[in-house]
Structure 1
Amino acid sequence: MLGLLSAGTVYVLGRMPGASNETHLCAVAGSPAQGAAGPVVRAVLKTRAGERALPDFPAGTLSHREVAAFEVSHALGLDVVPPTVWRSDLGGSLQIFVETDPAADPAVVLAPPGGLPRDLAPVLRAELAGGGEVVLAHALTPAVRRIAFFDVLIDNADRKGGHLLTGAWLAGDGPHEVRVHGIDNGLAFNTVPTLRTVLWGYAGEPLTDEERHWASRTAHGELDAVLAPHLGAEERRVLALRAAGLLQRGRMPEPPRNRRAVPWPPL
Protein backbone atom coordinates (compact mmCIF):
# COMPACT_ATOMS: atom_id res chain seq x y z
CA MET A 1 0.00 0.00 0.00
CA LEU A 2 2.80 2.44 0.82
CA GLY A 3 4.37 1.73 -2.56
CA LEU A 4 1.12 2.47 -4.37
CA LEU A 5 0.62 5.73 -2.46
CA SER A 6 4.22 6.77 -3.06
CA ALA A 7 4.45 6.01 -6.79
CA GLY A 8 0.89 5.70 -8.08
CA THR A 9 -0.75 8.16 -10.45
CA VAL A 10 -3.03 10.53 -8.52
CA TYR A 11 -6.31 11.77 -9.97
CA VAL A 12 -8.01 14.52 -7.97
CA LEU A 13 -11.75 13.80 -7.72
CA GLY A 14 -12.75 16.92 -5.84
CA ARG A 15 -12.27 19.06 -2.78
CA MET A 16 -13.65 17.66 0.48
CA PRO A 17 -16.19 20.06 2.06
CA GLY A 18 -15.88 21.22 5.64
CA ALA A 19 -12.10 20.88 5.91
CA SER A 20 -10.28 23.88 7.38
CA ASN A 21 -7.30 23.28 5.09
CA GLU A 22 -7.21 22.39 1.39
CA THR A 23 -8.15 18.71 1.30
CA HIS A 24 -8.87 16.65 -1.81
CA LEU A 25 -10.37 13.21 -2.37
CA CYS A 26 -8.28 11.38 -4.96
CA ALA A 27 -8.00 8.11 -6.82
CA VAL A 28 -4.53 6.56 -6.87
CA ALA A 29 -3.82 4.08 -9.66
CA GLY A 30 -0.90 1.70 -9.94
CA SER A 31 0.80 0.52 -13.10
CA PRO A 32 -0.99 -2.23 -15.07
CA ALA A 33 0.69 -5.63 -14.88
CA GLN A 34 0.69 -7.91 -17.90
CA GLY A 35 -2.23 -6.16 -19.53
CA ALA A 36 -4.48 -6.29 -16.47
CA ALA A 37 -5.79 -3.17 -14.80
CA GLY A 38 -3.56 -1.93 -11.99
CA PRO A 39 -4.79 -1.47 -8.42
CA VAL A 40 -6.82 1.65 -7.61
CA VAL A 41 -7.46 3.07 -4.15
CA ARG A 42 -9.03 6.24 -2.80
CA ALA A 43 -6.85 8.63 -0.83
CA VAL A 44 -6.89 12.05 0.81
CA LEU A 45 -4.45 14.71 -0.37
CA LYS A 46 -3.54 17.63 1.89
CA THR A 47 -1.32 20.17 0.16
CA ARG A 48 1.26 22.27 1.91
CA ALA A 49 0.28 25.29 -0.17
CA GLY A 50 -3.34 25.00 0.94
CA GLU A 51 -2.67 25.04 4.68
CA ARG A 52 -4.29 27.74 6.77
CA ALA A 53 -1.85 29.68 8.97
CA LEU A 54 -2.16 28.90 12.68
CA PRO A 55 -0.71 30.83 15.62
CA ASP A 56 0.74 27.81 17.45
CA PHE A 57 2.28 25.83 14.55
CA PRO A 58 4.93 26.91 12.02
CA ALA A 59 3.46 27.74 8.62
CA GLY A 60 3.58 25.06 5.95
CA THR A 61 4.27 22.13 8.30
CA LEU A 62 0.88 20.49 8.89
CA SER A 63 1.02 18.02 6.00
CA HIS A 64 4.51 16.94 7.06
CA ARG A 65 3.13 16.38 10.58
CA GLU A 66 0.46 14.13 9.08
CA VAL A 67 3.21 11.94 7.66
CA ALA A 68 5.21 12.09 10.90
CA ALA A 69 2.18 10.82 12.83
CA PHE A 70 1.96 7.81 10.52
CA GLU A 71 5.69 7.17 10.85
CA VAL A 72 5.40 7.03 14.66
CA SER A 73 2.35 4.76 14.47
CA HIS A 74 4.02 2.50 11.90
CA ALA A 75 7.49 2.32 13.46
CA LEU A 76 6.17 1.47 16.94
CA GLY A 77 3.63 -1.03 15.59
CA LEU A 78 0.61 0.85 16.95
CA ASP A 79 -1.05 0.87 13.50
CA VAL A 80 -3.60 3.51 14.44
CA VAL A 81 -2.94 5.92 11.54
CA PRO A 82 -3.89 4.87 7.99
CA PRO A 83 -0.95 4.57 5.55
CA THR A 84 0.32 8.06 4.76
CA VAL A 85 3.19 9.26 2.56
CA TRP A 86 4.75 12.54 1.50
CA ARG A 87 4.46 13.27 -2.22
CA SER A 88 6.99 15.90 -3.23
CA ASP A 89 5.50 15.98 -6.74
CA LEU A 90 2.15 17.01 -5.24
CA GLY A 91 3.54 19.10 -2.42
CA GLY A 92 1.60 17.39 0.32
CA SER A 93 0.62 14.30 2.29
CA LEU A 94 -1.37 11.46 0.77
CA GLN A 95 -3.33 9.18 3.11
CA ILE A 96 -5.42 6.15 2.26
CA PHE A 97 -9.14 6.86 2.54
CA VAL A 98 -10.92 4.94 5.30
CA GLU A 99 -14.38 3.69 4.39
CA THR A 100 -16.45 3.76 7.58
CA ASP A 101 -18.51 0.71 8.50
CA PRO A 102 -22.11 1.80 9.22
CA ALA A 103 -22.72 -1.39 11.18
CA ALA A 104 -19.81 -0.80 13.60
CA ASP A 105 -20.22 0.89 16.97
CA PRO A 106 -18.70 4.41 16.89
CA ALA A 107 -15.75 5.13 19.15
CA VAL A 108 -17.21 8.47 20.31
CA VAL A 109 -20.92 9.02 20.96
CA LEU A 110 -23.43 11.55 22.23
CA ALA A 111 -25.66 9.99 24.87
CA PRO A 112 -28.42 11.15 27.23
CA PRO A 113 -27.10 12.17 30.66
CA GLY A 114 -27.29 9.52 33.36
CA GLY A 115 -27.11 5.76 33.11
CA LEU A 116 -24.15 5.49 30.73
CA PRO A 117 -23.05 1.90 30.08
CA ARG A 118 -19.90 0.81 31.88
CA ASP A 119 -18.03 0.51 28.59
CA LEU A 120 -18.39 4.27 27.92
CA ALA A 121 -16.34 7.02 29.58
CA PRO A 122 -18.05 10.45 29.91
CA VAL A 123 -15.87 13.37 28.84
CA LEU A 124 -18.10 16.44 28.92
CA ARG A 125 -21.72 17.52 29.23
CA ALA A 126 -23.23 19.92 26.71
CA GLU A 127 -26.52 21.73 26.28
CA LEU A 128 -28.26 21.48 22.92
CA ALA A 129 -29.79 24.45 21.12
CA GLY A 130 -33.27 23.21 22.06
CA GLY A 131 -32.41 23.10 25.74
CA GLY A 132 -31.74 19.38 26.21
CA GLU A 133 -28.50 17.94 27.53
CA VAL A 134 -26.17 15.31 26.13
CA VAL A 135 -22.96 13.67 27.30
CA LEU A 136 -19.98 13.21 25.02
CA ALA A 137 -18.45 9.82 25.80
CA HIS A 138 -15.96 7.44 24.26
CA ALA A 139 -15.68 3.68 24.20
CA LEU A 140 -13.37 1.97 26.68
CA THR A 141 -11.72 -0.53 24.35
CA PRO A 142 -8.09 -1.54 23.71
CA ALA A 143 -8.27 0.10 20.27
CA VAL A 144 -9.40 3.46 21.67
CA ARG A 145 -6.85 3.23 24.50
CA ARG A 146 -4.12 2.75 21.91
CA ILE A 147 -5.14 5.95 20.11
CA ALA A 148 -5.39 7.82 23.43
CA PHE A 149 -1.81 6.82 24.26
CA PHE A 150 -0.65 7.69 20.75
CA ASP A 151 -2.17 11.17 21.09
CA VAL A 152 -0.39 11.73 24.41
CA LEU A 153 2.89 10.65 22.84
CA ILE A 154 2.64 12.97 19.80
CA ASP A 155 0.87 15.73 21.79
CA ASN A 156 -2.14 15.82 19.47
CA ALA A 157 -3.83 19.21 19.79
CA ASP A 158 -6.99 18.31 17.89
CA ARG A 159 -8.35 14.82 18.64
CA LYS A 160 -12.01 15.42 17.89
CA GLY A 161 -14.58 12.63 18.01
CA GLY A 162 -14.97 12.81 14.25
CA HIS A 163 -11.28 12.03 13.81
CA LEU A 164 -11.81 8.45 14.97
CA LEU A 165 -13.15 6.31 12.13
CA THR A 166 -14.24 2.70 12.48
CA GLY A 167 -13.80 1.09 9.09
CA ALA A 168 -11.27 -0.13 6.54
CA TRP A 169 -9.65 0.92 3.32
CA LEU A 170 -10.40 -0.84 0.06
CA ALA A 171 -7.79 -2.16 -2.32
CA GLY A 172 -7.63 -4.52 -5.26
CA ASP A 173 -7.46 -7.53 -2.96
CA GLY A 174 -10.62 -6.52 -1.08
CA PRO A 175 -11.29 -4.65 2.16
CA HIS A 176 -8.81 -4.71 4.99
CA GLU A 177 -9.67 -5.38 8.63
CA VAL A 178 -12.35 -3.13 10.11
CA ARG A 179 -10.93 -1.29 13.13
CA VAL A 180 -10.60 2.15 14.68
CA HIS A 181 -8.32 4.59 12.85
CA GLY A 182 -7.10 8.01 13.94
CA ILE A 183 -7.08 10.59 11.14
CA ASP A 184 -6.34 14.35 10.94
CA ASN A 185 -3.12 14.26 12.93
CA GLY A 186 -1.53 17.42 11.51
CA LEU A 187 -1.83 19.44 14.72
CA ALA A 188 0.75 17.48 16.67
CA PHE A 189 4.43 17.42 17.69
CA ASN A 190 4.43 20.91 19.15
CA THR A 191 7.38 21.98 21.30
CA VAL A 192 5.05 23.26 24.04
CA PRO A 193 2.23 21.20 25.64
CA THR A 194 -0.92 21.46 23.51
CA LEU A 195 -2.71 18.14 24.07
CA ARG A 196 -6.43 18.59 23.35
CA THR A 197 -8.50 15.44 23.06
CA VAL A 198 -11.89 13.88 23.74
CA LEU A 199 -10.20 10.68 24.95
CA TRP A 200 -9.75 11.59 28.62
CA GLY A 201 -11.37 8.42 29.94
CA TYR A 202 -7.95 6.92 30.73
CA ALA A 203 -6.62 9.92 32.68
CA GLY A 204 -4.40 8.91 35.56
CA GLU A 205 -4.39 5.21 34.73
CA PRO A 206 -1.05 3.35 34.98
CA LEU A 207 0.76 2.70 31.73
CA THR A 208 0.59 -0.85 30.44
CA ASP A 209 3.76 -2.82 29.76
CA GLU A 210 3.16 -2.34 26.04
CA GLU A 211 2.79 1.44 26.45
CA ARG A 212 6.00 1.54 28.49
CA HIS A 213 7.76 -0.28 25.65
CA TRP A 214 6.50 2.22 23.06
CA ALA A 215 7.47 5.17 25.24
CA SER A 216 10.92 3.71 25.91
CA ARG A 217 11.68 3.25 22.22
CA THR A 218 10.61 6.84 21.56
CA ALA A 219 12.57 8.23 24.50
CA HIS A 220 15.75 6.53 23.26
CA GLY A 221 15.50 8.19 19.84
CA GLU A 222 14.62 5.13 17.78
CA LEU A 223 12.22 7.17 15.63
CA ASP A 224 14.60 10.04 14.91
CA ALA A 225 15.70 8.84 11.48
CA VAL A 226 12.20 8.30 10.05
CA LEU A 227 10.96 11.59 11.51
CA ALA A 228 13.88 13.78 10.36
CA PRO A 229 12.39 14.50 6.89
CA HIS A 230 9.18 15.81 8.47
CA LEU A 231 9.99 17.35 11.88
CA GLY A 232 12.66 19.76 13.05
CA ALA A 233 15.41 18.79 15.48
CA GLU A 234 13.73 20.55 18.41
CA GLU A 235 10.40 18.84 17.75
CA ARG A 236 12.12 15.45 17.69
CA ARG A 237 13.99 16.26 20.89
CA VAL A 238 10.79 17.31 22.67
CA LEU A 239 9.04 14.13 21.47
CA ALA A 240 11.79 12.05 23.12
CA LEU A 241 11.56 14.13 26.31
CA ARG A 242 7.77 13.76 26.37
CA ALA A 243 8.13 9.99 26.11
CA ALA A 244 10.73 9.99 28.89
CA GLY A 245 8.37 12.02 31.07
CA LEU A 246 5.61 9.51 30.47
CA LEU A 247 7.90 6.70 31.59
CA GLN A 248 8.94 8.60 34.69
CA ARG A 249 5.34 9.34 35.74
CA GLY A 250 4.17 5.88 34.74
CA ARG A 251 0.61 7.08 34.17
CA MET A 252 -1.57 8.62 31.52
CA PRO A 253 -1.80 12.40 32.07
CA GLU A 254 -4.67 14.23 33.73
CA PRO A 255 -6.48 17.05 31.87
CA PRO A 256 -4.55 20.33 32.26
CA ARG A 257 -6.08 23.00 34.49
CA ASN A 258 -4.34 26.01 32.93
CA ARG A 259 -5.56 25.64 29.35
CA ARG A 260 -8.29 24.08 27.23
CA ALA A 261 -8.14 20.28 27.38
CA VAL A 262 -10.81 19.44 24.74
CA PRO A 263 -10.77 20.65 21.11
CA TRP A 264 -13.64 22.79 19.89
CA PRO A 265 -15.87 21.73 18.41
CA PRO A 266 -15.36 18.32 20.03
CA LEU A 267 -16.99 16.45 17.11
Structure 2
Amino acid sequence: MIPDGLTPPLVLPDAAALELLRRGELEVEGRLVDASNATLYCSVSADGVSAACVYKPVAGERPLWDFPDGTLAEREVAAYEVSAASGWSIVPPTVYRDGPAGPGMVQLWIETDESVDQLRLARRRDSAALRRIAVFDAVVNNADRKGGHLLPTASGTVYGVDHGVSFHVENKLRTVLWQWAGRPIPEHLLDDLIELRAALDRGLGERLRELLTTGEVQRTIRRVDDLLATGRHPEPSGDWPPVPWPPL
Protein backbone atom coordinates (compact mmCIF):
# COMPACT_ATOMS: atom_id res chain seq x y z
CA MET A 1 0.00 0.00 0.00
CA ILE A 2 1.46 3.35 -1.06
CA PRO A 3 1.04 5.97 1.71
CA ASP A 4 -1.13 8.99 0.99
CA GLY A 5 0.75 11.91 -0.45
CA LEU A 6 3.14 9.85 -2.57
CA THR A 7 2.88 9.58 -6.34
CA PRO A 8 0.87 6.43 -7.12
CA PRO A 9 2.03 3.66 -9.47
CA LEU A 10 1.02 3.93 -13.11
CA VAL A 11 0.63 1.08 -15.59
CA LEU A 12 2.27 1.99 -18.91
CA PRO A 13 3.33 0.14 -22.06
CA ASP A 14 7.06 -0.55 -22.00
CA ALA A 15 7.92 1.96 -24.73
CA ALA A 16 6.04 4.77 -22.99
CA ALA A 17 7.48 3.80 -19.61
CA LEU A 18 11.04 3.80 -20.94
CA GLU A 19 10.57 7.22 -22.52
CA LEU A 20 9.16 8.64 -19.27
CA LEU A 21 11.92 7.09 -17.17
CA ARG A 22 14.66 8.39 -19.48
CA ARG A 23 13.63 12.02 -19.81
CA GLY A 24 11.18 12.69 -16.98
CA GLU A 25 12.04 14.82 -13.97
CA LEU A 26 12.93 12.71 -10.95
CA GLU A 27 11.81 13.80 -7.49
CA VAL A 28 12.68 11.79 -4.39
CA GLU A 29 9.64 11.16 -2.17
CA GLY A 30 10.89 8.50 0.24
CA ARG A 31 13.35 5.71 0.95
CA LEU A 32 12.88 1.96 1.27
CA VAL A 33 14.64 1.50 4.60
CA ASP A 34 14.79 -2.32 4.47
CA ALA A 35 16.90 -2.37 1.29
CA SER A 36 20.61 -3.16 1.66
CA ASN A 37 21.56 -0.45 -0.87
CA ALA A 38 20.11 3.05 -1.15
CA THR A 39 16.69 2.54 -2.74
CA LEU A 40 14.57 5.65 -3.23
CA TYR A 41 10.86 5.97 -3.97
CA CYS A 42 10.50 8.69 -6.58
CA SER A 43 8.10 10.35 -8.93
CA VAL A 44 9.07 10.75 -12.57
CA SER A 45 7.15 13.36 -14.56
CA ALA A 46 7.02 14.60 -18.15
CA ASP A 47 4.35 16.17 -20.37
CA GLY A 48 1.74 16.06 -17.62
CA VAL A 49 2.26 12.36 -16.86
CA SER A 50 3.62 11.22 -13.50
CA ALA A 51 4.45 7.73 -12.30
CA ALA A 52 6.09 6.16 -9.29
CA CYS A 53 9.52 4.64 -9.78
CA VAL A 54 12.48 3.18 -7.92
CA TYR A 55 15.82 5.00 -8.09
CA LYS A 56 19.02 3.26 -6.95
CA PRO A 57 21.96 5.65 -7.24
CA VAL A 58 25.41 4.16 -7.75
CA ALA A 59 26.62 6.35 -4.87
CA GLY A 60 24.37 4.38 -2.51
CA GLU A 61 25.63 0.92 -3.47
CA ARG A 62 27.21 -1.07 -0.66
CA PRO A 63 30.59 -2.58 -1.64
CA LEU A 64 30.56 -6.36 -2.15
CA TRP A 65 33.49 -8.74 -1.99
CA ASP A 66 32.62 -10.58 -5.20
CA PHE A 67 31.20 -7.88 -7.49
CA PRO A 68 33.09 -4.80 -8.74
CA ASP A 69 32.15 -1.56 -6.98
CA GLY A 70 29.70 0.72 -8.74
CA THR A 71 28.31 -1.88 -11.17
CA LEU A 72 25.02 -2.99 -9.59
CA ALA A 73 22.83 -0.41 -11.34
CA GLU A 74 24.13 -1.40 -14.77
CA ARG A 75 23.50 -5.07 -13.95
CA GLU A 76 19.89 -4.18 -13.15
CA VAL A 77 19.55 -2.55 -16.57
CA ALA A 78 21.22 -5.54 -18.25
CA ALA A 79 18.66 -7.82 -16.62
CA TYR A 80 15.88 -5.70 -18.11
CA GLU A 81 17.48 -5.90 -21.55
CA VAL A 82 17.58 -9.73 -21.37
CA SER A 83 14.01 -9.84 -20.06
CA ALA A 84 12.78 -7.65 -22.91
CA ALA A 85 14.73 -9.52 -25.59
CA SER A 86 13.43 -12.89 -24.40
CA GLY A 87 9.81 -11.70 -24.62
CA TRP A 88 9.21 -12.81 -21.04
CA SER A 89 8.64 -9.27 -19.64
CA ILE A 90 9.86 -10.31 -16.20
CA VAL A 91 11.74 -7.14 -15.24
CA PRO A 92 9.82 -3.84 -15.14
CA PRO A 93 11.02 -1.12 -17.53
CA THR A 94 14.46 -0.02 -16.30
CA VAL A 95 16.96 2.60 -17.45
CA TYR A 96 20.34 3.97 -16.41
CA ARG A 97 20.36 7.75 -16.02
CA ASP A 98 21.40 10.69 -13.91
CA GLY A 99 19.29 11.66 -10.90
CA PRO A 100 19.26 13.79 -7.74
CA ALA A 101 22.00 11.63 -6.16
CA GLY A 102 23.97 11.03 -9.33
CA PRO A 103 23.75 8.29 -11.96
CA GLY A 104 21.90 5.11 -11.18
CA MET A 105 19.13 2.71 -12.06
CA VAL A 106 15.53 3.95 -12.43
CA GLN A 107 12.74 1.39 -12.67
CA LEU A 108 8.98 1.70 -12.98
CA TRP A 109 7.28 0.93 -9.66
CA ILE A 110 4.99 -2.10 -9.78
CA GLU A 111 1.89 -2.19 -7.61
CA THR A 112 1.66 -5.64 -6.05
CA ASP A 113 -1.27 -7.72 -4.89
CA GLU A 114 -0.64 -7.65 -1.15
CA SER A 115 -3.06 -10.53 -0.55
CA VAL A 116 -0.52 -12.94 -2.09
CA ASP A 117 1.88 -14.70 0.27
CA GLN A 118 5.21 -14.28 -1.53
CA LEU A 119 6.93 -17.23 0.14
CA ARG A 120 4.01 -19.52 -0.62
CA LEU A 121 3.97 -18.19 -4.18
CA ALA A 122 7.67 -19.03 -4.55
CA ARG A 123 6.96 -22.70 -3.71
CA ARG A 124 4.36 -23.22 -6.42
CA ARG A 125 5.09 -25.82 -9.09
CA ASP A 126 2.12 -25.01 -11.32
CA SER A 127 3.02 -21.39 -12.19
CA ALA A 128 4.13 -20.76 -15.76
CA ALA A 129 5.25 -17.27 -14.73
CA LEU A 130 7.55 -18.60 -12.01
CA ARG A 131 8.99 -21.21 -14.35
CA ARG A 132 9.91 -18.48 -16.83
CA ILE A 133 11.59 -16.59 -13.99
CA ALA A 134 13.54 -19.74 -13.01
CA VAL A 135 14.91 -20.02 -16.56
CA PHE A 136 15.60 -16.28 -16.69
CA ASP A 137 17.55 -16.47 -13.42
CA ALA A 138 19.66 -19.29 -14.85
CA VAL A 139 20.46 -17.12 -17.87
CA VAL A 140 21.47 -14.03 -15.88
CA ASN A 141 23.09 -16.04 -13.07
CA ASN A 142 20.98 -14.38 -10.41
CA ALA A 143 22.67 -14.65 -7.03
CA ASP A 144 19.73 -13.33 -5.01
CA ARG A 145 16.26 -14.56 -6.04
CA LYS A 146 14.42 -14.11 -2.77
CA GLY A 147 10.67 -14.57 -2.40
CA GLY A 148 10.40 -10.85 -1.72
CA HIS A 149 11.90 -10.14 -5.14
CA LEU A 150 8.82 -11.65 -6.79
CA LEU A 151 6.09 -9.07 -7.40
CA PRO A 152 2.64 -10.60 -8.01
CA THR A 153 0.05 -8.20 -9.40
CA ALA A 154 -3.73 -8.20 -9.29
CA SER A 155 -3.79 -9.08 -13.01
CA GLY A 156 -1.89 -12.32 -12.35
CA THR A 157 1.44 -11.13 -13.76
CA VAL A 158 4.52 -11.89 -11.65
CA TYR A 159 7.48 -9.55 -12.03
CA GLY A 160 11.01 -10.09 -10.79
CA VAL A 161 13.16 -7.28 -9.39
CA ASP A 162 16.52 -6.66 -7.66
CA HIS A 163 19.02 -8.07 -10.15
CA GLY A 164 22.07 -6.09 -9.05
CA VAL A 165 24.02 -9.23 -8.20
CA SER A 166 23.62 -11.00 -11.52
CA PHE A 167 25.84 -11.80 -14.53
CA HIS A 168 28.89 -12.91 -12.55
CA VAL A 169 31.37 -15.01 -14.57
CA GLU A 170 31.31 -17.69 -11.84
CA ASN A 171 28.24 -19.81 -11.16
CA LYS A 172 26.45 -18.00 -8.33
CA LEU A 173 22.83 -18.99 -8.89
CA ARG A 174 20.97 -18.65 -5.60
CA THR A 175 17.21 -18.83 -5.68
CA VAL A 176 14.07 -19.97 -3.90
CA LEU A 177 12.86 -21.41 -7.22
CA TRP A 178 14.53 -24.85 -7.20
CA GLN A 179 11.29 -26.83 -7.58
CA TRP A 180 12.11 -27.66 -11.22
CA ALA A 181 15.80 -28.46 -10.69
CA GLY A 182 16.96 -31.11 -13.15
CA ARG A 183 13.61 -31.30 -14.92
CA PRO A 184 13.18 -30.73 -18.66
CA ILE A 185 12.62 -27.12 -19.67
CA PRO A 186 9.24 -26.79 -21.45
CA GLU A 187 9.49 -26.68 -25.23
CA HIS A 188 8.09 -23.16 -25.54
CA LEU A 189 10.76 -21.84 -23.18
CA LEU A 190 13.47 -23.61 -25.17
CA ASP A 191 12.09 -21.87 -28.26
CA ASP A 192 12.40 -18.56 -26.42
CA LEU A 193 16.00 -19.42 -25.50
CA ILE A 194 16.79 -20.07 -29.15
CA GLU A 195 15.48 -16.60 -30.00
CA LEU A 196 17.42 -15.10 -27.09
CA ARG A 197 20.62 -16.80 -28.27
CA ALA A 198 20.15 -15.26 -31.71
CA ALA A 199 19.55 -11.84 -30.13
CA LEU A 200 22.80 -12.15 -28.19
CA ASP A 201 24.63 -12.41 -31.51
CA ARG A 202 22.96 -9.21 -32.64
CA GLY A 203 21.74 -6.08 -30.90
CA LEU A 204 21.32 -7.55 -27.43
CA GLY A 205 24.95 -8.61 -27.24
CA GLU A 206 26.05 -5.13 -28.26
CA ARG A 207 23.79 -3.53 -25.66
CA LEU A 208 25.03 -5.83 -22.88
CA ARG A 209 28.64 -4.96 -23.70
CA GLU A 210 27.79 -1.37 -22.83
CA LEU A 211 26.68 -2.50 -19.36
CA LEU A 212 28.84 -5.54 -18.51
CA THR A 213 32.38 -6.75 -19.12
CA THR A 214 33.20 -8.77 -22.23
CA GLY A 215 33.76 -11.83 -20.04
CA GLU A 216 30.35 -11.45 -18.38
CA VAL A 217 28.62 -11.23 -21.76
CA GLN A 218 30.51 -14.29 -23.00
CA ARG A 219 29.48 -16.27 -19.92
CA THR A 220 25.86 -15.22 -20.44
CA ILE A 221 26.03 -16.63 -23.97
CA ARG A 222 27.62 -19.80 -22.59
CA ARG A 223 24.83 -20.22 -20.02
CA VAL A 224 22.19 -19.99 -22.76
CA ASP A 225 24.14 -22.53 -24.83
CA ASP A 226 24.34 -24.87 -21.84
CA LEU A 227 20.60 -24.62 -21.17
CA LEU A 228 19.87 -25.42 -24.82
CA ALA A 229 22.36 -28.30 -24.82
CA THR A 230 20.95 -29.98 -21.69
CA GLY A 231 17.33 -28.91 -22.16
CA ARG A 232 16.98 -29.00 -18.38
CA HIS A 233 16.73 -26.62 -15.47
CA PRO A 234 20.05 -26.35 -13.62
CA GLU A 235 20.64 -28.04 -10.29
CA PRO A 236 22.50 -26.63 -7.28
CA SER A 237 26.22 -26.95 -7.88
CA GLY A 238 27.28 -27.57 -4.29
CA ASP A 239 29.93 -24.86 -4.60
CA TRP A 240 27.65 -22.03 -3.50
CA PRO A 241 24.73 -21.80 -1.03
CA PRO A 242 21.73 -22.59 -3.26
CA VAL A 243 19.17 -20.42 -1.40
CA PRO A 244 19.68 -16.75 -0.50
CA TRP A 245 19.37 -15.69 3.12
CA PRO A 246 16.94 -14.58 4.25
CA PRO A 247 14.79 -16.40 1.66
CA LEU A 248 12.11 -13.66 1.76
Task: Give the TM-score category using the shorter length.
Answer: 0.7 to 0.9
Equivalent residue for 1:153? 139
Structure 2 unmatched runs, 5+: 1-16
> C-alpha distance in 2, partners of 1:77/1:218?
9
Secondary structure, aligned partner of 1:100: coil
> C-alpha distance in 2, partners of 1:107/1:209?
27
> C-alpha distance in 2, partners of 1:78/1:3?
20
Does the alignment pair 1:41 with 2:57? no
> C-alpha distance in 1, partners of 2:74/2:210?
8
Match of 1:96 among 98, 108, 113: 108
Work out the number of aligned pairs and report it.
227
Secondary structure, aligned partner of 1:78: coil
Query: How far is 1:178 from its partner?
Result: 4.5
Does the alignment pair 1:79 with 2:102? no
> C-alpha distance in 1, partners of 2:65/2:194?
31
Secondary structure, aligned partner of 2:153: strand
Query: How far is 1:249 from its partner?
Result: 1.0
Equivalent residue for 1:108? 119
> C-alpha distance in 2, partners of 1:156/1:69?
9
Equivalent residue for 2:12? none
Secondary structure, aligned partner of 2:144: coil
TM-score (norm 1): 0.80
Q: Give 1:123-202 correspondences, 5 Å limit.
A: 137-167=123-153, 177-202=155-180
Does the alignment pair 1:66 with 2:82? no
Native 8 Å contact 2:90 2:158 kept in 1: yes
Who wins on radius of gyration, i.e. which is larger? 1
Query: How far is 1:139 from its partner?
Result: 4.9
Secondary structure, aligned partner of 2:123: strand
Native 8 Å contact 1:107 1:138 kept in 2: no
Query: How far is 1:49 from its partner?
Result: 1.2
Does the alignment pair 1:22 with 2:38? yes
Deviations 1:31-79 (A, max 9, x none): 2xxxxxx111000000111111111111100010000000100111110
Q: Which structure 1 residue ranges, 4+ long, deviate > 4 Å from structure 2?
A: none
Query: How far is 1:225 from its partner?
Result: 1.8
Equivalent residue for 1:173? none
Equivalent residue for 1:172? none
Q: Which amino acid is 2:86 matched to?
A: L
Q: Which amino acid is 1:215 matched to?
A: L
Equivalent residue for 2:6? none
TM-score (norm 2): 0.86
Q: Which amino acid is 1:251 matched to?
A: R
Overall identity of the aligned pairs, in %: 44
Structure 1 unmatched runs, 5+: 32-37, 110-119, 121-135, 169-176
CA RMSD after TM alignment? 1.7
> C-alpha distance in 2, partners of 1:228/1:257?
30
Query: How far is 1:210 from its partner?
Result: 2.4
